[in-house]
Amino acid sequence: MPNAQDVLFKTLADPTRRALFERLCREGEQTVGALTAQSGVSQPAVSKHLGVLRHAGLVRDRHEGRQTHYSAQPGALGPLIDWTSRMAGFWQSRFDDLEDLLKRMDQ
Amino acid sequence: MPNAQDVLFKTLADPTRRALFERLCREGEQTVGALTAQSGVSQPAVSKHLGVLRHAGLVRDRHEGRQTHYSAQPGALGPLIDWTSRMAGFWQSRFDDLEDLLKRMDQ
DNA sequence: TTCTTCAATAACCAACGGGTTATCGATCAA
DNA sequence: TTGATCGATAACCCGTTGGTTATTGAAGAA
């Protein structure tokens, strides 16, 4: 029974997959071909990774002719942010010098 | 060459390991025995997970007689928060670009 | 139509990772 | 000293996973 954090952590744990997501966040919508060109792995590998990302809700696809455009859905990072905040919160309730961490979360 | 996010995501991707970290965040310092009792896996498995968490800087250990106490170091979550903020930031900046573009088209 | 291109799927393989049991060193108890 | 307990390590097993090549279907191009 995988919860939201589970899926997100597992999905983002792979460097190649995380790099794809990062690229989509940085540069916006991309075709599979464009993503493959810079990924260092084969097109089927990219397609598989994109499928996993889509399953986690981190990207969406848009078909246009014979090419597929993928784009990031950073809203899906919500559960990750929640989990991290919760962990930091537990810690904060027991200790005080958390300012550095909180500052980073603030921006 | 694994960067900080890489180590953190990989470390937290396993549910058993994440549960151990969560428990240490919630309840503070615990011995290996106490953690094992509620973990659902064997003591060697728990020791291995704690080793991985320690390597990622997420926990520290304190030896006292023949037992070892572990505690969470949530400050180590920093790079995770940084990464998430950065991704959300890219999203935001592209959104701003779009807004900017639409504004310019408006005039 | 025929040929090419794009991306998804199939089939397969090797490596990794998380689990186990067995064991060992170290510490406390008798 | 002897025996029990705590936790780390070793050795091993097996399922998962990330990669590959080959192939397929769909959509332009000629």
* Distance of C1' in D27 from CA in A63, Å: 11
- Chain A residues near residue B80 by CB distance under 8 angstroms: 84
Q: Name the pTM for this structure.
A: 0.89
Q: How confident is the model at residue B93 (pLDDT cuts 50, 70, 90)?
A: confident
pLDDT mean over B66-77: 95
Q: Kindly report the backbone phi and psi dihedral angles of residue B61, in degrees, each rounded to the nearest multiple of 5, phi listed first.
A: -115, 155
**A8 to A16, A82, B7, B72: CA distances (angstroms):** 15, 12, 15, 21
Digit-coded pLDDT (tens) for A26-77:
999 999 999 999 999 999 999 999 999 999 999 999 999 999 999 999 889 9
According to DSSP H, which parts of chain B are helical?
A: 4-13, 15-27, 32-37, 43-55, 78-106
Task: Look up residue B78 and give its two tokens.
Answer: 């920093």
pLDDT mean over B95-100: 66
- Chain B residues near residue A80 by CB distance under 8 angstroms: 84
Contact B36, B43 (CB under 8 A): yes
Which secondary structure element, helix H or strand E, spans residue A100, and what is its range?
helix A99-106
* Distance of C1' in D22 from CA in A30, Å: 26
What is the Cβ-side half-sphere exposure of residue B95, based on CA atoms within 13 angstroms? 10
Digit-coded pLDDT (tens) for A5-31:
999 999 999 999 999 999 999 999 999
Angle at A59 between CA A57 and CA A60, to 5 degrees: 95
Residue in A closest to B8 by C-alpha: A13
Q: Across all residues in chain B, what is the average pLDDT?
A: 90
Q: Kindly report the backbone phi and psi dihedral angles of residue B71, in degrees, each rounded to the nearest multiple of 5, phi listed first.
A: -140, 150
pLDDT at B27: 94
C-alpha span between A95 and A37 (Å, rounded):
48
* Distance of C1' in D7 from CA in B53, Å: 16
Which secondary structure element, helix H or strand E, spans residue A69, and what is its range?
strand A67-72
Strand, coil or helix: what is B62? strand
CA torsion through residues A89, B12, B53, B51, sign: positive
Would you say residue A94 has pLDDT above 80? no
By Cβ distance, the residue of A5, A81, A101 closest to B75 is A101
CA A92 to chain CA centroid, nearest Å: 26
In which order are the strands placed within the sheet that holds B59-64?
Answer: B30-31, B67-72, B59-64
